[in-house]
């Protein structure tokens, strides 16, 4: 089984149903790979013209708190990212060189690790942020509002983004980051690439017969799983599976052992940070969790998902989707070479 999951499964190996070679996240390589996407060619230019007018006229850019944000005239040189998914999107837009500060959780792509750390999501050092003299600070849900306000009071331009529901919310998120960094063209290209991959999955799923029952285990203490409000639930649905905890209206919940016995999932995914964590988690599930009667455990269909990729609301969620599709419906890929 594929355990080395720091490499996205989809890289250079996209789903079969059409579309260009998968968008390699980060850097210009990915952009080149999809720049032949004709429908988008004219669009950004028109929009640019539009925005020159907008930038000089009344501002209509708002962040997800509904606060008006002055649209910068060009890409800012020093951008501070206050969340790992924002960092990933900035890099995917080819703006890695402009990122001046990241959180200690920002470890993807690897280049992000060498950027100045500002602290964590809830405990960044405001002084470090100020000393970077950023032209743009991008905050995300998970950064406390009080913290955002404190940074704003220093006179720094803070653009706040919220998480949406389901994978579909990735597109407005990327578009907004593209807009506020004045990389609309690249954002459109990135979004178009992701859109094609989603459509490829949808097309492939139309041929799928069964919908295996899926249980997602968060590696750690006990049977933590994702409920119906989590975007992981949406990914499972798109990948042609059924999340057994889908009916529970929460993001993360501690599942009950008797409930998982009753649900009898066909496949179990373990969200783990490393191959070692996954091995420990699988051992626990197979030997100690007393869920031997569950179909997934009996058949050994216990797979790893990269927790970092799956828990950050960024482009790598589509990698997670690709991997899940292949594991849930191997027949779709085995039959058609």
Tokens of residue 223, six digits: 């049977």
Residue 222 CB, shortest distance to another protein, in Å, is: 13
Binding region for another protein (CB under 8 A) out of 72-80, 111-119, 233-241, 304-312 = 111-119
For residues 246 and 227, the answer to whether their CB atoms sit within 8 Å is yes
In whole angstroms, give the CA distance from residue 279 to residue 301. 13
Report the site for another protein in 86-105 (rule: CB under 8 A). Answer: 104
Q: Which residue has the tokens 């008797």?
A: 258
Nearer to another protein, 12 or 222 (CB): 222
Tokens of residue 3, six digits: 């355990």
In terms of C-beta distances under 8 Å and separation of at least 24 residues, what long-range contacts does 57-61 make, across chains too? 61/179, 61/180
- Report the chain's terminal Cα–Cα distance, integer Å: 19
User: Phi, psi at residue 193, to the nearest 5°?
Assistant: -65, -45
Residue 207 CB, shortest distance to another protein, in Å, is: 37
Which of 19, 124, 240, 281 touches another protein (CB under 8 A)? Answer: 124
- The reply to whether 119 sits near another protein by the rule CB under 8 A is yes
Tokens of residue 285, six digits: 């599930």
- The reply to whether 77 sits near another protein by the rule CB under 8 A is no
- The reply to whether 126 sits near another protein by the rule CB under 8 A is yes
Nearer to another protein, 116 or 276 (CB): 116
Q: What share of the chain is helix, strand, coil (3-state, %, to 5)?
A: 45, 15, 40
Q: What binding mask, one character per residue, do residues 145-164 give for another protein by CB under 8 A, x or -? A: xxx-xx--xxx---------
Residue 201 CB, shortest distance to another protein, in Å, is: 28
Residue 145 CB, shortest distance to another protein, in Å, is: 4
Closest CA to 115 of 130, 132, 127: 132
Longest dimension (CA), the chain: 66
Residue 52 CB, shortest distance to another protein, in Å, is: 28
Q: How many residues bind another protein (CB under 8 A)?
A: 28
Residue 104 CB, shortest distance to another protein, in Å, is: 7
**Residues at the interface with another protein (CB under 8 A):** 104, 117-128, 130-131, 133, 142, 144-147, 149-150, 153-155, 251-252
């Amino acid at each position: 089984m594929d355990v080395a999951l720091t490499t996205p499964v989809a890289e250079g190996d996209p789903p079969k149903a059409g579309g260009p070679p998968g968008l390699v996240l980060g850097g210009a390589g990915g952009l080149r790979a999809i720049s032949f996407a004709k429908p988008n060619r004219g669009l950004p230019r028109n929009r640019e013209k539009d925005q020159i007018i907008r930038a000089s006229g009344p501002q209509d850019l708002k962040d997800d708190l509904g606060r008006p944000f002055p649209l910068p005239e060009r890409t800012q040189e020093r951008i501070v990212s206050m969340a790992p998914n924002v960092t990933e999107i900035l890099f995917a837009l080819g703006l890695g060189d402009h990122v001046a500060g990241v959180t200690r959780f920002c470890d993807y792509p690897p280049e992000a690790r060498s950027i100045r750390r500002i602290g964590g999501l809830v405990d960044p050092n405001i002084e470090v942020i100020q000393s970077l003299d950023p032209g743009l600070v991008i905050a995300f849900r998970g950064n406390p509002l009080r913290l955002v306000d404190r940074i704003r009071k220093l006179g720094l331009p803070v653009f706040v983004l919220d998480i949406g529901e389901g994978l579909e919310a990735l597109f407005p998120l990327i578009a907004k980051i593209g807009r506020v960094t004045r990389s609309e063209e690249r954002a459109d290209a990135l979004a178009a690439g992701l859109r094609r991959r989603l459509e490829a999955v949808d097309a492939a799923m139309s041929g799928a017969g069964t919908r295996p029952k899926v249980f997602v285990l968060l590696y750690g203490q006990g049977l933590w799983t994702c409920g119906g409000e989590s975007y992981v639930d949406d990914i499972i649905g798109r990948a042609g599976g059924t999340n057994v905890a889908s009916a529970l209206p929460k993001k993360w919940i501690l599942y009950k052992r008797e409930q998982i016995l009753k649900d009898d999932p066909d496949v179990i995914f373990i969200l783990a940070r490393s191959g070692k964590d996954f091995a420990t988690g699988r051992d626990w599930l197979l030997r100690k969790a007393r869920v031997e009667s569950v179909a997934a455990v009996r058949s050994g269909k216990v797979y790893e998902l990269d927790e970092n990729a799956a828990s950050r609301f960024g482009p790598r969620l589509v990698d997670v989707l690709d991997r899940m599709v292949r594991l849930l419906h191997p027949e779709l890929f085995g039959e058609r070479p």
